[in-house]
């Protein structure tokens, strides 16, 4: 078994600049499967992922781009060593600081919704903003289906963890940001899609403003009864179309950084 590269010759920090700070997760190439072999997973991770993808398809995920992306990204690299054996189960897992990596089924469902909302649903997704980088897993999956991914995290510890996790994957189209995602990231706008991994009481106006016409927001949002549901907002030339879909359970969307 080979070991992880001890370091990577990337200069990831912008010396100074507007907040939030942009930190490309990349350096070169576009492989989502890292050069290093899986560690601590006593199974062929490709076969386990293939089974996970089969289950996702059986659960109703149809878009082949989404299934391919989930089959490609090594989820076990994004969770703690002690949880590696659960990495391909359809469950959310703790990633530290009280946060969780979302269930594969939810990641797949939300990205499928994002793709389906585009004016040409078969075309590649343009620029995407993800609120809540967490461990970086969903950002890696998004990098397979979107041209550019801007992913913002409000907890410094997780932003740094995501950077660590994503560095060996060398994804030139993923840009990690540290900041409050409630205000979006105007410098990257307009976005073809905005996807939130944390649930707020309402979809912030900044996200709507930063969405391109023809774009879609997919965000868990607290409903009047107090339960979260997946909310989809489409921005059309004539206005916004909003629909609330199935119930979900996401960590709360919080303002500010920590
Ligand atoms: N997509 C992530 C899931 C992370 S959980 C993954 O694949 O691991 C949701 C994340 O949203 C948490 O890390 C939480 O800190 C973050 N979050 C909550 N409110 C936020 C905000 N206003 N801006 C940015 N990130 C936020």
Distance 131 CA to ligand 1 centre (A): 6
Residue located via tokens 């359809």: 90
Compute the average pLDDT of residues 217-238: 97
Residue 174 lies in a domain: yes
Atom of ligand 1 nearest to the CA of 256: 22
State in Å: Cα 151 to ligand 1 middle: 9
The question of whether 102 is a catalytic residue gets the answer yes
Query: Whose CA is closest to atom 14 on ligand 1?
Result: 132
- How do residues 172-227 score in pLDDT, each as one tens digit? 999 999 999 999 999 999 999 999 999 999 999 999 999 999 999 999 999 999 99
The pLDDT tens digits of the residues spanning 95-125 come to 999 999 999 999 999 999 999 999 898 888 9
Say if 63 falls within a structural domain.
no
Q: How far apart are CA 27 and CA 9, in angstroms?
A: 8
- Inform me whether the pLDDT recorded for 43 exceeds 90: no
Residue 22, pLDDT score: 57
> Does some domain include residue 190?
yes
Ligand 1 pocket at CB < 6 A: 95, 99-102, 131-132, 134-135, 137-138, 152-155, 158, 180-182, 197-198, 251, 253-255
Which DSSP symbol is given to 183? G
Query: What pTM did the predictor assign?
Result: 0.87
- The CATH number given to whatever domain includes residue 189 is 3.40.50.150
Q: Report yes or no on 65 lying in a domain.
A: no
Range of the domain at 144: 94-248
Pocket perturbation via mutation, ligand 1, pick of 111, 134, 258 by most ligand atoms within 8 A of CB? 134
Domain membership flag for residue 116 = yes
Q: Is position 51 within any domain?
A: no
Number of domains in the chain: 1
Domain contains 85 = no
Q: Find the 132 Cα to ligand 1 centroid distance in Å.
A: 3
Residues 6+ apart with CB under 8 A from 174: 24, 25, 26, 139, 140, 142, 143, 149, 151, 166
């Amino acid at each position: 078994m080979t070991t992880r590269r001890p370091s990577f010759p990337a200069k990831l920090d912008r010396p100074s600049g507007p907040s939030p700070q942009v930190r490309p997760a990349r350096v070169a190439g576009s492989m989502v499967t890292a050069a290093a072999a899986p560690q601590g997973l006593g199974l062929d991770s490709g076969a386990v992922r293939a089974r996970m993808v089969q289950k996702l398809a059986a659960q109703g995920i149809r878009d082949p781009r989404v299934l391919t992306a989930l089959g490609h990204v090594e989820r076990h690299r994004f969770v703690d060593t002690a949880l590696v054996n659960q990495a391909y189960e359809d469950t959310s897992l703790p990633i530290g600081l009280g946060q969780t990596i979302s269930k594969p089924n939810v990641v797949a469902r939300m990205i499928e919704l994002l793709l389906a909302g585009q004016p040409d649903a078969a075309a590649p997704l343009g620029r995407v903003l993800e609120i809540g980088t967490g461990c970086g897993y969903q950002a890696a999956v998004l990098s397979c289906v979107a041209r550019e991914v801007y992913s913002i995290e409000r907890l410094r510890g997780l932003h740094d963890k995501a950077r660590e996790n994503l560095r060996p994957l060398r994804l030139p189209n993923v840009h990690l940001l540290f900041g409050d995602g409630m205000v979006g990231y105007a410098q990257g706008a307009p976005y073809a899609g905005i996807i939130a991994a944390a649930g707020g009481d309402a979809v912030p106006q900044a996200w709507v403003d930063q969405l391109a016409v023809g774009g879609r927001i997919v965000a868990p949002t607290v409903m009047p009864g107090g339960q979260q549901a997946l909310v989809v907002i489409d921005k059309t030339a004539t206005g916004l179309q909003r629909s609330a879909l199935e119930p979900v359970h996401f960590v709360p969307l919080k303002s500010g950084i920590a």
